[in-house]
Amino acid sequence: MYPLKSRADYFKSGGGVIEFECVSMRRRKGQLAERIEFLSSALGNQLNLARCKQAALLLLLPALPSPGLADAHQSDDEKRSSLSTAMVGALALRSSSDEQGSLCPADQWESGVYSMTRNGFTRRFRVHVPANYDPSIHTPLIVAFHGWGGDEDEFLGNAAVRSNLDQTGLITVAPVGLGPGEPDFNYASWSFSGSSTGLDGDGVNSLVAGDTAEICDASATPTYTYGSCSGVAANTCSWTHCLDNDIEFALDLVEEVSNNLCIDPDRVFAVGGSNGGMFTWDLVRDSKGAEVFAATASLTGLPHRGHLEPPASTGGKPALLITGTNDRTVPPGAWGDERFTTTTDGDVFYYASATSVTKVWAEAAGCNVTSSATPFDVGVDELECRAWSGCAADSEWPPVLDCRRAMGHVYGLSWSWPLITDFFSRVSAEQ
């Protein structure tokens, strides 16, 4: 949305100038707040920057006269006052024009399939622009990552999903993972910790005889080695590509969408199913990913064993996990059981339990995890959700929800997708 960068020098009493950057989608609130605090301090707290929510409010500042070029006979206070007046005027104009949508891209996408080139790969993605979309209003964005072997239609090809998006007014982009053309498999997938890193060395899973701390039992699992993974997948436990860094791709994709649609940078969310759901945990555990994505939702997707790091952000990140108690592919484990779970559908992969991963994320959100999670009603029939209390986040719902239904390895999009969009709306309302 705001790809431009502008720079001047720091304001220094007696003749310096101002330094700032128009922060991009990746820089987000923290760094912007630091620059705003500096400007306010440098100018004697004469500015009311309450409306400076969008980084692009600072774009007009390069046009302001440099304090260093001010009248040499002016006192420091006079220079500061003159600069302050000019800045206030510029910010007022920007705020007014922002209300008219001037910060949005001039030429904007319609719903359809698009592509971008990254590191020599053409990355395809489908965009759904809701029927009530206003190109002058900054709109929340969902990035939806398909499961292993899926494509851009796995979510957006579902009529119930599109109907919900039209009702809620959310833009959604569904990218396609890499994988086609591999010598062993042709399944599009996402690269994340465990699936493409082989041995974890996190200890022994007591539920599996002869466990060697790998992410899978190679003796019971067919060769999932992708040609692109080379020696990384020599143990045959890697079942996704090693062709590109998908976290960086996801960030570039958000930037690309923001250059072509009017996106709210404070409300960018990630959804993933199965392999894509596993990837979303990595996405927000990454420091850059945590700057861009405000919340995540995973459908039947758990991290591999040994990968329980919390999100890389102070105060954690909201997360919704939906799993099936009858799922033999990615089983959640029993309520309160923090031991690793094991696939029982023929292959043998090892995953962190639903309780263990949601507990780690709840603790990062300031919740009291010394006691067990308790039931929380989200209004969906036959779905049991639990959450920890005492969380730091001031939102309508708990910031981390562990939800389960008596189902197998399926998404249940007719009821799960409305729950996901509802969750995003509620947990972001107070942010």
Cα 184 to chain centroid, rounded: 31
From 103, 131, 152, the end of a domain falls on: 103
Could you tell me if 22 and 138 lie in one domain? no
Could you tell me if 192 and 308 lie in one domain? yes
pLDDT at 417: 98
- Tell me how crowded residue 137 is: count the other CB atoms within 10 A of its CB: 13
Domain hosting residue 45, numbered range? 1-103
pLDDT at 235: 56
C-beta separation of 216 from 320 below 8 A: no
Could you tell me if 82 and 169 lie in one domain? no
* Mean pLDDT, contiguous 10-residue spans, the chain (431 residues): 28 36 38 50 47 35 36 47 39 34 83 95 96 95 96 97 97 91 71 64 45 70 70 64 89 97 97 96 94 97 87 94 97 93 86 94 95 96 96 86 98 98 88 56
From 56, 72, 103, the end of a domain falls on: 103
Could you tell me if 349 and 418 lie in one domain? yes
Could you tell me if 233 and 88 lie in one domain? no
From 103, 132, 157, the end of a domain falls on: 103
Supply the DSSP symbol for 361. Answer: H
Provide the terminal-to-terminal Cα distance of the chain, rounded to the nearest Å. Answer: 20
pLDDT at 294: 96
Domain at 159, CATH number: 3.40.50.1820
- Tell me how crowded residue 43 is: count the other CB atoms within 10 A of its CB: 18
pLDDT at 308: 83
Could you tell me if 98 and 119 lie in one domain? no
Could you tell me if 238 and 369 lie in one domain? yes
Ramachandran bin of 271, using left for φ above 0, alpha for ψ from -120 to 50, beta for the remaining angles: beta
Could you tell me if 80 and 139 lie in one domain? no
Could you tell me if 204 and 157 lie in one domain? yes
Could you tell me if 197 and 302 lie in one domain? yes
Gap between the Cα atoms of 124 and 177, Å rounded = 8
pLDDT at 265: 95
pLDDT at 37: 56
pLDDT at 409: 97
Domains: count for the chain: 2
Could you tell me if 320 and 389 lie in one domain? yes
Could you tell me if 263 and 144 lie in one domain? yes
